[in-house]
């Protein structure tokens, strides 16, 4: 803090611009806290569960294919394993590092988006095991919203399920 306080206004402006370029999600986090979701599809956790939900932790989904529940009265999102394997940032960072090493690609600049996408991959691996190329599975609504609540998009914009292009 002392270093920032000792900077000139121009130096602080340059620092802010560098931060926005390098970590754009941070400025959104500061200006619009993650608790707000202006726009996009993000029903709150306090709403009644849809009639297709068994576990009572699902929320409505925008498409029919995404309207799936874990099917358990004791929701999978309440299991300690879910907290560690799916929501723990250290586990997700390690999984992203491993995946990046194998596939040789740059990590997503928005850490919440990177964590969210890795959490979906972790859930699929945890639930179904390793899938072959083109085999995609729908993540249950309860799990999707637990992940989205933990790693929200500041604008509530989510891609949703994409079916395989391999047919």
What is the tens place of the pLDDT at every residue in 65-78?
Answer: 999 999 999 999 99
pTM score of the predicted model: 0.68
pLDDT at 47: 73
pLDDT at 29: 54
Distance CA 101, CA 24 (A): 24
pLDDT at 134: 74
Length of the chain: 167
Mean pLDDT of 55-65: 91
DSSP assignment string, the chain? -HHHHHS-HHHHHHHHHHHHHH-HHHHHHHHS-TT---SSS---TTSPPPTT-SSS-----SSSTT------SS-GGGSHHHHHHTT-HHHHHHHHHHHHHHHT-PPPSSHHHHHHHHHHHHHHHHHH-SPPTT---PPPHHHHHHHHHHS--TT---------TT-
Which two tokens mark 165? 């292009």
How does residue 37 score in pLDDT terms, banded at 50, 70 and 90? Answer: very low
pLDDT over 50 at 54, yes or no = yes
Mean pLDDT value across the chain: 81
pLDDT over 90 at 137, yes or no = no
pLDDT at 103: 62
pLDDT digits (tens, 9 = 90+) for 124-135: 999 888 877 777
% of the chain with per-residue pLDDT over 90:
34
Give the residue from 79, 100, 92, 97 showing the smallest Cα distance to 143: 79
Which two tokens mark 114? 């990177």
**What torsion, rounded to 10 degrees, do the Cα atoms 104, 105, 106, 107 define?**
-100
pLDDT at 36: 42
Mean pLDDT of 8-24: 78
Between 33 and 42, the more confident residue is 42
């Amino acid at each position: 803090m002392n270093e920032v306080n000792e900077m000139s206004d121009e130096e602080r402006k340059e620092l802010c611009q560098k931060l926005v370029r390098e970590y754009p999600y941070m400025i959104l986090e500061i200006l619009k806290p993650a608790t707000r979701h202006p726009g996009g599809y993000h029903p709150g956790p306090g709403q009644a569960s849809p009639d297709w939900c068994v576990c009572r932790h699902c929320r409505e989904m925008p498409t029919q294919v995404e309207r799936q529940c874990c099917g358990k009265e004791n929701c999978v999102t309440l299991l300690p394993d879910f907290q560690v394997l799916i929501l723990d940032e250290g586990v997700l960072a390690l999984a992203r590092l491993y995946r990046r090493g194998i596939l040789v690609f740059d990590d997503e600049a928005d850490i919440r988006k990177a964590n969210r996408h890795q959490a979906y991959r972790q859930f699929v691996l945890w639930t179904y095991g390793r899938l072959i190329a083109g085999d995609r599975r729908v993540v249950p609504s309860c799990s999707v919203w637990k992940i989205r609540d933990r790693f929200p998009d500041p604008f509530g914009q989510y891609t949703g399920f994409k079916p395989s292009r391999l047919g």
